[in-house]
Amino acid sequence: MAREELKINIIIKGDHIFMGAQAKDCDPKMTTLQGDLATVLARVPAFVEESNKSWDVALQNPKSTVPEPVAAPAPVRTATTSSSSASKSVAATHAKQPAQPKFF
């Protein structure tokens, strides 16, 4: 069934193409292609037909059934020796590794 209102989005970056379709009260449909503007324009009618058929079966995607994450148990602290050489080696290990990775 054809939809009364349909939005088609096309994003072209180099030879990579993203195409999406959205209709009222329907989850969007998306696909990627490689090519140029002529490639994507030739694919639009078939993509719209595929989207309409998919929406005829179900307007929206099924709700996710991923379970909620379980909280990690608190770390267990163990007794350590107060040897100065042991604490120096631990301090040296921590000094070599930054507290947080630097991305920039």
> Total domain count for the chain?
1
Domain range for 48 is 6-57
Q: Is residue 81 part of a domain?
A: no
Q: Is residue 83 part of a domain?
A: no
Q: Which of 80, 81, 29 is nearest to 52 (CA)?
A: 29
The helix/strand/coil state of 37 is helix
Q: Is residue 99 part of a domain?
A: no
Looking at residue 9, its pLDDT comes to 94
Q: What is the pLDDT of residues 37-89, one digit of tens each?
A: 999 999 999 999 999 998 888 877 767 688 888 887 777 887 766 555 555 55
Q: Is residue 11 part of a domain?
A: yes
Q: Is residue 94 part of a domain?
A: no
Taking a C-beta distance cutoff of 8 angstroms, is the pair 15, 35 a contact? yes
> What's the full length of the chain, in residues?
104
Q: Is residue 46 part of a domain?
A: yes
Q: Is residue 68 part of a domain?
A: no
Q: What is the mean pLDDT of residues 1-24?
A: 90
Which range of 3-7, 10-14, 68-72 scores highest in mean pLDDT? It is: 10-14
> Is the entire prediction scored with pTM above 0.85?
no
